[in-house]
Each structure stands twice: as structure tokens, then as C-alpha cells.
Structure 1
Amino acid sequence: MDHTGTNIAEALEETIQQWGLEVEKLVGVTTDSGSNIKLACDLLNWNRLSCFGHNLNLAVGKGLNDARVQRTLRVVRSAVAAFSRSWKKQRDLVIAQEQRGLEIHKLKVDVVTRWGSAYDMVERMLEQMDAVRNVLSEDRASSHLSPSWQDRDVLQSIAAALKGLKTMTDALAAEKCVTVSVVKPLLSHLAEEVLVAENDDTDLTKEMKKRIKDDLEARYDDPELSFLLELSSFLDPRFKLNYVSNRAEILEEVEKEMRDLTDSSVDDSSHLPSSSQSGSSGMAAPPSKKAKGLSKVLGRCLGNSQSVQLTPRQQVKQELDQYLSHPQLDVEASPLDWWKTEAVRYPNVAKLARKYLCLCATSVAAERVFSCGGHVVSDRRTYLKPERVDNLVFLALNMKN
């Protein structure tokens, strides 16, 4: 079956029905930037969130869109290809590395779909530049492939622009499940620290940082998307209001949704039998307790000892204030694990967290499943039934943990 947008939409609808899921409860889906999956979400009228990792990789591509940068990258790729095709050059490279006291590392080449691979290639070439130039210069047939000193300057500018982004992509790829609540903090970190032009940056580095920053801002400039990201960040106990620009608007929306949840629970309780109904069915009301001890002496002075019944609006306000006053969670901790234990204390806020934090910031987790499925269903195992494939993939992913 062709992976067209229409076919993907039909497959998603069938899967939703097969799993018995309610589309009305769907907050959104996280996908890559493929045109077919975009069309499928549009046909289904689903809110779509682009994978943060893919967006960052595309923004880096815009940053590298410079004539000087592209020429230098082509030189590096040609040099790496010359070593990959010749075992003699690989042998000579090791000898040159040992003579210069360099690490015995192989050269790397970038891959368009692999996050951070451009920085890896540039960094490795800068590390092994002297050895590479020595080996290539000894062979007249490949001496023209040797990077020049001007190329070294361009590579250093590229490395300075991409170093912070490489650290971030590695951190994203290492996480098992990154919730959508981290997108706003990451964007803020990029804009205020990683992509800020430094005094010692070259003009080329500054231009690259600006292009990357502008591209990322353009991808997240939609007001509805920005509101969703801020709302999700608020529901993360690690961030709360730290990355919310319009606090009044976010708090108003949270209170509104919490009141709706409270009202729905009240409506559900209204279906329970009333006291008069229970009395008519033969169940006697519990007898009133007789005052004794201190309650007999001080009861009239202190008034009713029972707790005051709060209105739904007051309950929402009290619960929200308590959540905000709770100490923030450590950044390394898991917000999902925290909500498992604290849901009893903040039940309505926990329902909102369950609603919005189910969204993933990246599609890494899903792609890992597809990669695992590709290893399970090999050329020699094409007769596996779907149920058996599901079980094997489940075991392969969970037995690692």
C-alpha cells in the first residue's frame, strides 16, 4: 500500500476503532514533517505537533544554507570518501595519528536524517585535520581533496554554531519519553543561551545562529500552538509558571477546565440515590452523635467542629494555589512519576496533566518501535503473523528494561 496521506488517514481511523479509543479525547498527535502525515492529520481534523527533534534538524539545515559552508562540507565529504574507499589510506591515517599523538578515530560523514551528524563530521575532521592533510598530500591523485586552512576556519565557525545544538539533540535522543511540556523551556534555552551571538564568534557563526533561531521561531509562531506549549509547561511540576508569558490567560484556562471537571463529577454524583430515596428503601439515617468530653464543654464556644464545605469554584482555587505553592520538582525527575503519587493531593490538576502531558515532544519513541519491528521482521521471517510480531516487539522493547 502506498503511503499517501489518504491511505494513512484510513489506516489511523481503522486503528482508532480497533483499539476502542475515543477521538473526542484526542488532544493531538506528534509526527515528523512529512507531507503525507500532514495531509492525513488535516483529513482527520486532528491537532498535529511537529517533532521537536525534526524541527531542530531542519533549522540546522537552514543554518548551513550558505555558499561557504556548503563548499567546505563538500570538501570534507570528498575527503572522507577517499579514506572509506582505500584501505591503504585508512592504514596510513592510523600511522599519522600515532605519529602526532592523536586519538585513533575513524572519520565520520553526515547523514541528512540523522540528528547532529553534521556536527559530528565537522568535529572529527577538525580533530584529525593534520593527519588527514598529511595522508592526502602524499598521494598526487588525492592531494586536491585535502582541506585548506581556509576550510579549517569555516569548519571552526560551523562547530561553534552547532556545538550547543548537538548537546541538546543527544539529550533528547537519550530520553525514553519526552513530554510536550519541555518544548517551551527548550525553545527559551535556545533563544536566550545557545543561539546568542558571542563576542568571540566569527561573522559566519553569528549568521548561522541567526538563521537557525529565526527558522525555529517561525515554526512555533502559531498562537494556538504556543498556548498549548505554555499550558503543558504549566502542568509540569518542574516548570509551572517559569516559561509562561501570559500567566493570567493560562491560569484562567486551567481554572475553567478544572471547573468543568468538577461540574462533570457533580453531575455524575447526582445520579446516586438521595437521602430520601435511601430512607424509603429501608435504610435508616445514621443517628446523630451525642456530645461528650471536650466537645460537650467547648462545642458551643468553638462552633461546629466539622470542616466548612467549599463551593466548586473555591475548591478549584484552593487546589490550584496548593499546586503552585508546592516546591518545584528537580529537572532530572520524571513529571509522570510525580503525578502518579501526587494525583491524590491535586486530583483535578492531575486530570489536566494526564490530558496534556500524554503528548510527546519528539517522535523518537515511536521510531524506536518501528526500528525494532524492522529487526524482528527480517527477510527470513516474512511469514510471521501480526499477533506474533506484536508480541515479539513488545518483548524486545520491554526486556531491555
Structure 2
Amino acid sequence: MKKAFQGLPCVWLSCFGHNLNLAIVKVLKLQRVESAVRACRHLVQGFSRSWRRKRELKKNQGLLNIPEKSLIHDVVTRWGSTFKMIERFLEQQQACCAVLAADRSSWHLMPKDSDVCTLEMVCQLLRPLNDFTDLLASETKTSLSSLKPVMEHITGILEEKEEDDALTKQMKKVMRDDLQQRYSSEDVNKLIDIACFIDPRFKGNFSQNKDETVMFTVEEAVKLEEITSRPPQELPAFITAEEQALVPSAATKKKDKSLSCLLKKITSAKQETVKEGDVPLKERVIAEVKLYMSQPPISSDTDPLAWWKIHAQELPLLGKVARKFLCIPATSVPSQRVFSCSGHILVPHRSKLNPGKVNMLTFLHLNLD
């Protein structure tokens, strides 16, 4: 996929959730951490394969007033499952150790004190990241514009503190370096900065160099206006003949003789006259940027696309930039959820469903509340 994108006039951007998971996996591969996680996994397997240990675990949970919950086994393909396994073991540690201590043949499953200490440090570090991963996976419209503030938040979590021990500092450094390496490209950072700036929730609050971000946005708006204002025969070479045929022409538009249509034509002609005047395109974009920055930011729980739908006529040049960048997803989790949904619908005993029916059932499942 990366090789294919090299020949296209666009930037390859990988899933942020997957990148975060890869950084966490690197932490789990540290020798001390890997040994502790292996011991925890060995204990969980020992309980899952013995009904007697499960029964004794339930008895000890009642005696120790611990919630009656089963141990969790981690799955490689499931994000955060290792953290959930560690967290559940630490919650049930007293009950598990009581069961193992009463059976001499099970003493080999007992984790060392050093391993338990390591698991506690790993759990403390990964808990806020796991909470964020769950929130990221639950969202259906996570735009690329949210990536900049999220990265700043995660960087704050991974900052080394004086009270941190050597292992915690090492784990933080491994994750921080891995994420910085994955987002070290200038093109990727430029893309993220423009997307964050064009989002009315954030604007330029998270840009390291606000003036440079504004300059990139102005250049992008000028380029988009020049491309979209070309006639169909002058469109870029990578647009196919079929796509050019989809461009509406004056002859194919439905004629409307109402007064509102006439006023719309007059207004459009007046706007075109103003645009074709002495004001250069770049200055018009800069004027829109100033107007955009003068408006108060919206709340974080407001949909930025809904805001731009209202202000698109007021800021037409920046609206094209928003339409291009705010549609970029920060993570592929929603699209992967669609594939998982289709897999649950097209099961072996329903293998004769035609593709159209599968598409209809998938659409209804994902869009009906």
C-alpha cells in the first residue's frame, strides 16, 4: 500500500490506533516486561484448563469479598487484551494466590514478587492509553483533525517524571520514540496541522508554528480553487473520462424559471464579477483566514462538519479545504468494524446470500439505532 501511494499525488497516513498498538507491543517486548506477562499468561492458562481451580477461585472470591469475575486471556489480534488480562489478574491476585498456595502441584504457576511488581507498573502506564483506545474504537467519525490534540495528550502522559522508576522511564521512552518515528515525516505533519487548523474546535491552538500552518492552508486553498475552477477538459490527467463525464454541465441541469432561481443566478454573477476583479486569489484566501480566526471556537462536542455546512457560503475557499481534510479518518477502526459486521452476517449457514442482500443488511445494522 505504501508503494502504491508513492505514485499518487497524496500522502500515505496509517491508522493511529494501529500505530499506538504497535508502540504498546514494543513495550511488552522488553525483557523484564515480557517475562512478567508470560508468567501472568501461564497462570491464566492454568486456571482456564482446570475446573477444580475455577471452582476454588470462586470460593476464595467469596471469602475475600472480591468480585466474582473470571480471568481474561489475551488475544494477539485484539487491542488492549493484554492490559485487560494484567488488570484482571491484579484485581484477583489474592484469590488466585490462595488457590495456588493450597495445591502443591500448582506452585509452579505462582508468579514471582518481581513479576507482580512489573505488572503493576505496566498496568499503571497502560491504563490511560487503554481508556483512550476504547474511546477511539467506539467513535464512528474520528476525523484527522483530532489527532494533533490527542498526540499532545499522549506525549504528556509519556513524559518522564522524577518519581518514576527506571523501568517506567524505559517504557515511556520506547513508546515516545516509536510514535515520534511514525509521525516524523514532514508531509504527514503538514497534513495533520492543516486538518487541525481547519477544524473550528481547535483552529491554531495546537500548532507549533501557527504562521507556517496558516501559510500551508492558504497554499492549499489556492491550489484547490485553481483545480476546481478549471473546465472539465482541463482537469488533471489522473481523472478518468468516466469521472469527467460526471461533472455537471449547463445543458444537463434542470431548468428552473422561478424567481429564486433568477436571484440565485444574479447573485452568482455578481460574486463572479467580484472574484474576477482586482483582488488576487491569495489575498481573498488570507481575508477568509482572518474572518475564520475572528470567529469564536466551537465546543469540543460539536460536529465540525455541521459548522462548515453553515459557514461554507461565507468562507467558500476555506470550505473546500475543510471538505478535503476533515473527511480523512484518523483510524481505520470504523471501516474494520464494517468488515466484522459483514462477517457476522455472512456466516456458513447463510452462505447463499447475494452481495446486494449482504450490503443491505450491513447498512441496516450500522445505521439503525
Indicate the TM-score class for this superposition, using the shorter chain for normalisation. Answer: 0.7 to 0.9
Q: Does 1:378 align with 2:347?
A: yes
How many residues end up aligned between the 2 structures?
327
Amino acid across the alignment from 2:161: E
Unaligned runs of 5+ in 2: 232-248, 251-273
Inter-partner Cα distance in structure 1 for 2:229 and 2:356: 42
Unaligned runs of 5+ in 1: 1-36, 273-306
Q: 1:318 aligns with which of 254, 278, 287?
A: 287
Shift in CA distance, 267/144, structure 1 to aligned 2, threshold 3 Å: closer
Q: Does 1:352 align with 2:321?
A: yes
Shift in CA distance, 87/119, structure 1 to aligned 2, threshold 3 Å: same
| Aligned counterpart, 2:213 | 250
Amino acid across the alignment from 1:327: P
Bigger drift between 85-94 and 232-241 goes to: 85-94
Amino acid across the alignment from 1:215: D
Report SS of the residue matched to 2:13: strand
| Aligned counterpart, 1:93 | 57
| Partner deviation per Cα, 1:69-91 (whole Å, 9 max, x = no partner) | 11111111011111111222112
Q: Which runs of structure 2 are paired with 1:2-401 in the superposition (5 Å)?
A: 37-42=1-6, 47-191=11-155, 193-262=156-225, 311=279, 312-399=281-368, 401=369
Inter-partner Cα distance in structure 1 for 2:230 and 2:98: 79
The structure, 1 or 2, with the larger RCO (C-alpha pairs under 8 Å, 6+ apart) is: 2
Report SS of the residue matched to 2:151: helix
Inter-partner Cα distance in structure 1 for 2:219 and 2:163: 49
Shift in CA distance, 169/40, structure 1 to aligned 2, threshold 3 Å: same
Deviation at 1:213, TM superposition (A): 0.5
Percent same amino acid among aligned pairs?
39
Shift in CA distance, 241/94, structure 1 to aligned 2, threshold 3 Å: same
Shift in CA distance, 70/217, structure 1 to aligned 2, threshold 3 Å: same
Conservation of the 8 A alpha-carbon contact between 2:27 and 2:33: no
Report SS of the residue matched to 1:245: coil
Conservation of the 8 A alpha-carbon contact between 1:122 and 1:155: yes
Inter-partner Cα distance in structure 1 for 2:180 and 2:228: 40
Conservation of the 8 A alpha-carbon contact between 1:238 and 1:335: yes
Inter-partner Cα distance in structure 2 for 1:75 and 1:264: 60
| Partner deviation per Cα, 1:241-279 (whole Å, 9 max, x = no partner) | 1122232222122223333455567777xx99xxxxxxx
Conservation of the 8 A alpha-carbon contact between 1:160 and 1:201: no
Inter-partner Cα distance in structure 2 for 1:235 and 1:189: 20
CA RMSD of aligned residues (A): 2.4
Q: TM-score, normalised by structure 1?
A: 0.76
Inter-partner Cα distance in structure 2 for 1:141 and 1:237: 63
Inter-partner Cα distance in structure 2 for 1:187 and 1:140: 49
Bigger drift between 359-368 and 337-346 goes to: 337-346
Q: TM-score, normalised by structure 2?
A: 0.82
Amino acid across the alignment from 1:60: I
Instruction: Give 1 or 2 for the bigger CA radius of gyration.
Output: 1
Deviation at 1:109, TM superposition (A): 2.0
